[in-house]
Amino acid sequence: MSANVFEFTAFRARWVGHFKLGAISQRVTLDSEGCLVLKSDYRPAYRLAPEQGRRFRIVELEGFVVEFRGEGMTVDELIFHQPNGTFAAQRMEE
């Protein structure tokens, strides 16, 4: 793994975690290439493509974007921007 790929993966690793939106679990992981993947209960895994800053578009779902929110390097919420509204998932302790 090159130094740039390692830094890129380490940068995104802070967004990995378990988030909860109502009764639904949302898990953000890194795949073998260092890309972010979103997996919700009862849904397939979706790839997240960088959009701007902490915003990522869900590759497989047109018009769907997620945003990682928090102070500084901390991420406390995963915000879903969808055609039917905006929803916030709270980070859960592992």
- The ranges assigned to domains in the chain are 3-92
Contact 20, 90 (CB under 8 A): yes
Q: How many other CB atoms are found less than 10 A from the CB of residue 89?
A: 20
CA-based end-to-end distance of the chain: 28
- The domain 3-92: what is its CATH number? 2.40.128.50
Pairing of strands 36-40, 85-92: unpaired
pTM for this predicted structure: 0.85
Which pLDDT tens digits describe the chain residue by residue (94 residues)?
444 444 555 667 788 999 999 999 999 999 998 889 999 999 999 999 999 989 999 999 999 999 999 988 789 999 999 999 999 999 998 7
Based on DSSP, count helices (H) and strands (E) in the chain, helices before strands. Answer: 1, 8
To 5 degrees, how large is the angle CA 45–CA 47–CA 50?
Answer: 155
